[in-house]
Structure 1
C-alpha cells in the first residue's frame, strides 16, 4: 500500500515543485496541493489515453 501512495509524491516533488509550499497558510497550501494533483492527473490521463498532444 505504501508504494502505491509514495509513488505519486516523487513526480510531485521533482516536476511540480512540491518540496516546499509556495504560499503561507493552510488554505493556500491546500490549494497548491489540489492544483498539483489536477495537473498530475491530467498529464497521467493523457499518457494513458496515448494522446500525441500531451507531449
Structure 2
C-alpha cells in the first residue's frame, strides 16, 4: 500500500511542482493539493481510456 502512495506523491513532486507549496496558508495549500490531484487523475484517466 505504501509503495503505491509514495509513487503518486513522487509523481506530484516531479511532474506537478509540489516540491514547495505555492501559496501561504492552510486553506490555499489544501487547494493546491486538490488541484494537483484533479490534474493527476485527469491525466491518468486519459491514459487508461487510450490504452483500453
Give the TM interval when normalised to the shorter protein.
over 0.9
Equivalent position of 2:17 in the other structure = 17
**Alpha-carbon distance in 2 for matches of 1:16, 1:5:** 16
How many residues of Structure 1 are paired with residues of Structure 2 in the alignment?
51
After TM superposition, the score normalised by the length of structure 1 is 0.88
Structure 1 runs of 4+ with >2 Å offset: none
After TM superposition, the score normalised by the length of structure 2 is 0.93
Query: 1:8 aligns to what SS in structure 2?
Result: helix
Structure 2 gaps of 5+ residues are none
- Cα RMSD of the aligned pairs, angstroms, is 1.1
